[in-house]
């Protein structure tokens, strides 16, 4: 398909000459005598290039080009000014409002053709590069999405492997992650922060991989030595996750989800707001799920009992603000759906 050139000039002889030169090279040419006619023409037509005189009555070339650039669908049409002016001020003004080039009048056929061809080739190259960049960007985005999906699937698989060690838990890590994300949402945290806390929740118990199955699944009361081994799982979890440099926050949930607001937790005995906020969120979500899940020695606790335990631990075991959010969630859950089913 041939290139379509719109020529705008109030001088009929200039229109006739430009049309003769360009059509002789196989180009399609439309000729108009004013800026107003050009704007009306462009309402329904998109040429490949505009050649436009600067000095026209009523609406000069500068005003016409400004009006063209205001319309998003027309803004990228390249424009070359036709002018008899020979001063830097005219060129500067034209270039500032978006002209691609200038052609002196009276124009020489060879110069006109060279300038037009070069401009059309430059635009084609730009469009090709933009298209290539868009394709590459789409490929990169798709690749990033695949990596993100794969990362999520790996995290979920690792979380599932941890839960599978415990005969008496079913989806514990996923529920803790979901409760933690909901607490974060109610706190007004961003979607990214909510997603980060969800991932931390999924992996908060990853250190249990290093704890003996016989201890995790022991139906009887643990000995002091066995309890100390269980208590070591936050340290093991932090050790496992510390080398994931792209998400250093993973260590936070794993190491400190058993810290207490009153400083009597483990492994580091942190107190109050010295405990990272994410760990304080996961701590109350973890305790809630522990009470609303089946264990070898008991069934799911009644909702009233769970509420009482959370309320009693407010300000001692749990951050009071986060405990209040969980209490509100319990009060809204009139059918007791937030539990292991």
Instruction: Provide the 8-state DSSP code for 339.
Output: S
pLDDT band at 338 (very low <50, low <70, confident <90, very high): very high
Question: What class, spelled out in words, does domain 4-127 have in CATH?
Answer: alpha beta
Could you report the per-residue pLDDT of 204-217, keeping only the tens digit for each? 999 988 888 888 87
**How far is it, in rounded angstroms, from Cα 178 to Cα 249?**
17
Question: What class, spelled out in words, does domain 166-332 have in CATH?
Answer: mainly alpha
133: enclosing H helix or E strand:
helix 109-165
**How far is it, in rounded angstroms, from Cα 199 to Cα 151?**
10
308: enclosing H helix or E strand:
helix 303-312
Could you report the per-residue pLDDT of 151-184, keeping only the tens digit for each? 777 777 777 777 777 766 678 999 999 999 999 9
Starting at the earlier edge strand, list the strands of the sheet with 101-104.
28-32, 4-8, 49-53, 79-83, 101-104
CATH 1.10.3210.10 residue spans of the chain: 166-332
Could you report the per-residue pLDDT of 110-165, keeping only the tens digit for each? 889 998 999 999 888 888 888 888 888 888 888 778 877 777 777 777 777 777 77
CATH 3.40.50.2300 residue spans of the chain: 4-127
Residue 97: CB atoms within 10 A of its CB come to 16
Active-site residue list: 208
Query: What mean pLDDT value characterizes the chain?
Result: 90
């Amino acid at each position: 398909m041939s290139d379509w050139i719109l020529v705008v000039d109030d001088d009929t002889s200039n229109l006739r000459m430009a049309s003769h030169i360009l059509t002789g090279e196989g180009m399609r040419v439309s000729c108009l005598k004013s800026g107003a006619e050009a704007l009306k023409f462009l309402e329904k037509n998109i040429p490949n290039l505009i050649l436009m005189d600067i000095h026209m009555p009523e609406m000069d070339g500068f005003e016409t080009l400004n009006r063209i650039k205001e319309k998003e669908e027309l803004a990228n049409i390249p424009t070359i000014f036709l002018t008899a002016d020979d001063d830097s001020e005219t060129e500067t003004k034209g270039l500032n409002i978006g002209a691609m080039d200038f052609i002196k009048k009276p124009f020489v056929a060879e110069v006109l053709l060279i300038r037009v061809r070069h401009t059309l080739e430059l635009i084609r190259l730009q469009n090709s590069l933009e298209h290539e960049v868009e394709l590459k960007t789409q490929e990169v985005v798709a690749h990033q999405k695949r990596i993100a999906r794969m990362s999520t699937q790996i995290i979920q698989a690792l979380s599932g492997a941890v839960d599978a060690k415990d005969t008496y838990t079913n989806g514990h890590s996923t529920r803790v992650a979901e409760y933690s994300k909901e607490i974060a949402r109610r706190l007004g945290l961003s979607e990214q922060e909510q997603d980060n806390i969800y991932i931390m929740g999924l992996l908060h118990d990853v250190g249990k991989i290093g704890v003996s199955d016989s201890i995790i699944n022991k139906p009887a009361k643990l000995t002091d030595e066995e309890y100390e081994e269980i208590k070591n799982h936050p340290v093991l979890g932090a050790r496992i996750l510390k080398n994931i440099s792209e998400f250093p926050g993973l260590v936070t949930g794993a190491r400190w989800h058993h810290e207490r607001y009153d400083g009597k937790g483990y492994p580091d005995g942190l107190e109050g707001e010295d405990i990272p906020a994410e760990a304080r969120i996961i701590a109350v979500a973890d305790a809630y799920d522990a009470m609303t899940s089946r264990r070898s020695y008991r069934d799911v606790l009644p909702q009233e009992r769970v509420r009482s335990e959370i309320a009693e631990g407010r300000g001692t075991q749990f951050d009071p603000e986060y405990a209040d959010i969980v209490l509100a969630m319990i009060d809204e859950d009139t059918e007791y759906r937030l539990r292991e089913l």
